[in-house]
Structure 1
Amino acid sequence: MNSKAIITSALPYANGEIHIGHVASTYLPADVTTRFLKQKGVEAYYICASDDFGTPILVQSEKEGKTPEEYVQYWNKRDFEDFEAFNIKFDFFYKTSSSENRQFVQDVFKKLERAGHIYENEIIQLYCNTDKKFLPDRYVVGTCPYCKADDQYSDLCEKCGRVPEEIENPHCSICGQTPVKKKTMHYFFKLKNFSDKISQYLEDNKNLQKDVKKYVQNWIKEGLTDWDITRDISWGIPIPTDGPSEKVFYGWFDNHLAYISSTIKFLNDNDIDGKKFWNESDIYHFIGKDIVYHHYLFLPAMRLGIGEEYKLPDYIPTRGHLTLQSKKISKSRNWYIGLKDFLAIFPADYLRFYLISINPYSQDDLNFNWDEFATKINSELIGNLGNLVNRVLGFTVKSFNSIVPGPDEFDDMDKESEKMINELVSHLDTLMTENHLDRSLKKILQFSAHFNQYFQHKEPWKNGPGTNSCIFLSVNAIRSLAIAIYPFLPESSQKIWSQLGLEGNVSAQMFDEISSITLKEGHKLGSVSPLFEKVEESVIEEQKSKLGASS
Structure 2
Amino acid sequence: MVSFLSCATQTHSLKPRAIITSALPYANGEIHLGHVASTYLPADVTTRFLKMNGVEAYYVCASDDFGTPILIQAEKEKKTPQEYVAHWNKRDYDDFTAFDICFDFFYRTSSPENIQFVRYVFEKLKQNGHIYETEIIQFYCKNDQKFLPDRYVVGVCPYCKAVDQYSDLCEKCGRVPEEIENPKCAICGQPPTKEKTTHYFFRLKNFGDQLTKWLEENEHLQKDVKKYVQNWISSGLIDWDITRDITWGVPIPGDESKVFYGWFDNHLAYISTVMKFLGDKGIDGREFWNSADIYHFIGKDIVYHHYLFLPAMRLGINQEYKLPDYIPTRGHLTLQSKKISKSRNWYIGLRDFLSHYPADYLRYYLVSINPYSQDDLNFDWDDFATRINSELIANVGNLVNRALGFTKKTFGTIPEPDDLDEKDKDAEMKIKTLLSEMTPLMEQNHLDRALKKVMEFSIYFNQYFQHKEPWKKGPGTNSCVYLSVNAVHAIALALSPFLPQSAQKIWVQLGMPGKTTDHPWSAISEIAIQPGHVLGEIAPIFVRVEDADIKARKEELGTK
1:184 aligns with 2:207: no
Q: Which residue of 2 aligns with 1:32?
A: 45
1:426 aligns to 2:422 (yes or no): no
The equivalent of 2:125 in structure 1 is: 112
User: Equivalent residues in 2 for 1:60-99 (5 A)?
Assistant: 60-99=73-112
Greater shift in the superposed pair: 78-87 or 160-169: 160-169
Q: Distance in 2 between matches of 1:298 and 1:11?
A: 16
Q: Structure 1 residue aligned with 2:525, among 497, 505, 515?
A: 515
Cα deviation, residue 382, structure 1? 0.2
User: Paired residue for 2:534?
Assistant: 524
For residues 347-376 of structure 1, give each alpha carbon's deviation from its aligned partner in whole angstroms, at most 9, with x where no partner exists: 000000000000000000000000000000
Partner in structure 2 of residue 491 of structure 1: 501
Partner of residue 162 from structure 1, selected from 175, 186, 211: 175
1:146-174 Cα shifts (integer Å, max 9, x gaps) = 11111111111111111111111111111
In the TM superposition, 1:279-318 aligns within 5 A as 279-318=290-329
Q: Which of 452, 464, 472 is the equivalent residue of 1:442?
A: 452
Once the two structures are TM-superposed, the CA of residue 404 in structure 1 deviates from its matched residue by: 0.5
Look up the SS of the partner of 2:119 in the other structure: helix
Aligned match of 2:239: 226
- The answer to whether residue 215 in structure 2 is matched with residue 202 in structure 1 is yes
Paired residue for 1:271, among 282, 287, 304?
282
**What code does the residue aligned with 1:270 have?**
K
Q: Which amino acid aligns with 1:96?
A: T
Per the alignment, residue 369 of structure 1 pairs with 380
In the alignment, the residues of structure 1 paired with residue 157 and residue 363 of structure 2 have an alpha-carbon distance, to the nearest angstrom, of: 35
User: Letter of the aligned partner of 1:499 in structure 2?
Assistant: Q
1:56 Cα deviation after fit: 2.1
What residue in structure 1 maps to residue 349 of structure 2?
338
1:62, distance to aligned residue in structure 2 (A): 2.5
| 2:363 is equivalent to residue 352 of structure 1 | yes
User: Which residue does the alignment assign to 1:9?
Assistant: 22
Amino acid at match of 1:396: T
Structure 1: 4+ residue segments shifted above 6 A: none
> Which residue, out of 115, 127, 131, partners 2:140?
127
- Aligned twin of 1:404: 414
Where 2:139 maps in the other structure, the secondary structure is strand
- Give the structure-1-normalised TM-score: 0.99
Letter in 1 for 2:460: H
Partners of 1:64 and 1:347 in 2: CA distance: 33
- AA at the equivalent of 1:83: F
Letter in 1 for 2:235: E
Structure 1 residue 302 displacement after superposition? 0.2
User: 1:61, CA displacement in angstroms?
Assistant: 1.8
Tell me how far 1:233 sits from its aligned partner.
Answer: 0.3
Q: TM-score, normalised by structure 2?
A: 0.97
Distance 1:397 1:472 in 2: 12
- SS of equivalent residue, structure 1 residue 53: coil
Deviation of 1:58 (Å): 1.7
Deviations 1:68-89 (A, max 9, x none): 1111000000000000000000
Deviates further, 462-471 or 140-149 = 140-149
Q: 1:173 aligns with which of 179, 186, 196?
A: 186
Shifted more, 145-154 versus 372-381: the winner is 145-154
- The percentage of aligned residue pairs carrying the same residue is 71
Provide, for residues 170-217 of structure 1, a one-character-per-residue CA deviation record: whole Å limited to 9, x for no partner: 111111111110000000000000000000000000000000000000
> Across the two proteins, how many residue pairs are aligned to each other?
547
Q: Does 1:254 align with 2:247?
A: no
Say if 2:151 is the partner of 1:141: no
> 1: distance between equivalents of 2:140 and 2:240?
20
What residue identity is the alignment partner of 1:308? Answer: Q
1:510 Cα offset (Å): 0.3
- The CA distance in 2 between the partners of 1:262 and 1:325, in whole Å, is 36
Residue number in structure 2 paired with 1:539: 549
Q: Is there any run of 5+ residues in structure 2 with no aligned partner, and where?
A: 1-13
Find the residue that maps to 1:145 and give its secondary structure: coil
The 2-side partners of 1:196 and 1:204 are apart by 12
Aligned-partner SS, 2:251: coil
Instruction: Report deviation, 1:59.
Output: 2.7
2:6 is aligned to none
